[in-house]
Amino acid sequence: MTTRPRIYSFTQESNDGYAIALHGGAGTLDENALDDERLAYFHQTLRHCLAQGERILANGGSALDAVEATVKALELAEEFNAGHGACMTWNGEHELDAAIMDGATRQSGAIASIRTTKSPIAAARAVLDHSDHLLLSGQGADDFARLAGLESVDNSYFTTPMRLQHWQDLHTERADAERDLFRFGTVGAVARDRHGNLAAATSTGGITNKRWGRIGDSPLVGSGTYADNRSCAISCTGHGELFIRAVAAHDISSRMRYLGERLDTACTTLLANDLNVPNGAGGMIGVDAQGNLTLAFNSRGMYRAWSSECGAAGSAIGEGVVEWQPMKAEG
Ligand code: ASP
């Protein structure tokens, strides 16, 4: 079954304000299957994670710092497939990917298949800030992060009972097709600061049962993550191989730059064409240079939250939306 793309756009009433959005992954999520308490907990967690970046923006900070702060908070939330709570590889371990990109300079940092660095997005930021390279992988990336002063953990730090159960189910053939599709859950954030700069960040455990050093779209600049002040900042989630083939995030930026398309039109076009597969490929969040936000997906749902200074703020998983007021500067 092909799912029609669902697009949620939030327009800024003024071009001076900040804007930020996050995703906690796309997939076959059914919010009706969650009881009220659990649903409220998810909305609270999404709001809390967004607030970490929003506070920075509301106080005049940079989009780059804001997306890193929000993704760090999502990595700590064990429900999401990134950092603590990341999904497991075929071998029952964790290999994590992340990328961050600054739209002002188009500099980026990324890491792939790391195993012992507590915050993958902090490692990606360290690559951006402190190395001559763009993408580091495996043991070398963990070594680099440790030398950059980041905290190391045992690989088991990333394991949670839910992920272990899921992995065991898959290995004992108790999994049905539906649960198999619940593999997604990457996290990401995009932001525009008051100075007009854009940034994007994405962090993930990849897909459950991945093997042979598989790397997805998240750490690949242009596929799962991209930021360019001339067009937009994008973070994707979903079936990584499809997003890599579509060079998804860069395709959205290119459509805007070369065809003059709006952000929401570019996202819809991509979802309806290259990412149009049975059950849906996933989704993306984006912000343009004016601070307009688009959150779009062709899977059943996508954990998401958004706030724009001169517009709306809220969170959602499927259709149901919880709204609140955008944050103001402190003091
Ligand atoms: N895109 C990620 C990957 O393929 C997975 C996800 O978004 O859940 O590694």
- Reported as a single tens digit per residue, the pLDDT across 47-80 is 999 999 999 999 999 999 999 999 999 999 998 9
Distance 127 CA to ligand 1 centre (A): 21
Residue 181's pLDDT is 44
Q: Measuring from atom 7 of ligand 1, which residue has the nearest CA?
A: 237
Residue 1 burial (CB < 10 Å; 0-12/13-18/19+)? exposed
Residue to probe by mutation, ligand 1, list 214, 218, 243, most atoms within 8 Å of CB = 218
Distance 206 CA to ligand 1 centre (A): 5
Average pLDDT, whole number, for the chain?
Answer: 92
- Reported as a single tens digit per residue, the pLDDT across 224-245 is 999 999 999 999 999 999 999 9
Q: Which CATH superfamily is domain 11-321 in?
A: (Glycosyl)asparaginase (3.60.20.30)
**Torsion on CA atoms 306, 308, 197, 330, rounded to nearest 10:** -110
The CB of 237 under 6 Å from ligand 1? The reply is yes
Residue 306's pLDDT is 97
Higher-pLDDT residue of 104 and 29 is 104
Question: Counting atoms of ligand 1 from 1, which one is nearest the CA of 185?
Answer: 8
Determine which one of 28, 70, 117, 186 is catalytic. Answer: 186
Residue to probe by mutation, ligand 1, list 23, 217, 242, 284, most atoms within 8 Å of CB = 217
Q: Measuring from atom 4 of ligand 1, which residue has the nearest CA?
A: 240
Q: Using alpha carbons, select from 116, 76, 95 the residue that is nearest to residue 204.
A: 95
Question: Counting atoms of ligand 1 from 1, which one is nearest the CA of 206?
Answer: 9
Report, as an integer, the average pLDDT of 253-274. 96
Question: Counting atoms of ligand 1 from 1, which one is nearest the CA of 97?
Answer: 9
- Reported as a single tens digit per residue, the pLDDT across 73-106 is 999 999 899 999 999 999 999 999 999 999 999 9
Global pTM value:
0.95
- Reported as a single tens digit per residue, the pLDDT across 172-200 is 765 554 454 445 579 999 999 999 999 99
Q: Measuring from atom 8 of ligand 1, which residue has the nearest CA?
A: 184
Distance 81 CA to ligand 1 centre (A): 9
d(CA 193, CA 300): 31
Q: What residues does 188 pair with on adjacent strands?
A: 23, 202
Question: Counting atoms of ligand 1 from 1, which one is nearest the CA of 215?
Answer: 9
3-class DSSP string for 274-308: CCCCECCCEEEEEEECCCCEEEEECCCEEEEEEEE
% of the chain beyond a pLDDT of 90: 78
- Reported as a single tens digit per residue, the pLDDT across 205-215 is 999 889 999 99
Domain ranges of the chain: 11-321
The CB of 185 under 6 Å from ligand 1? The reply is yes
Of 90-94, 160-164, 178-182, 250-254, which has the strongest mean pLDDT? 250-254
Within a 13 Å sphere around the CA of 281, how many CA atoms are in the beta-carbon half?
Answer: 26
Extract the tokens encoding 234. 């994008």
Confirm whether 186 is a catalytic residue. yes
d(CA 94, CA 232): 31
Distance 263 CA to ligand 1 centre (A): 22
Give phi and psi for 155, each to the nearest 5.
-55, -30
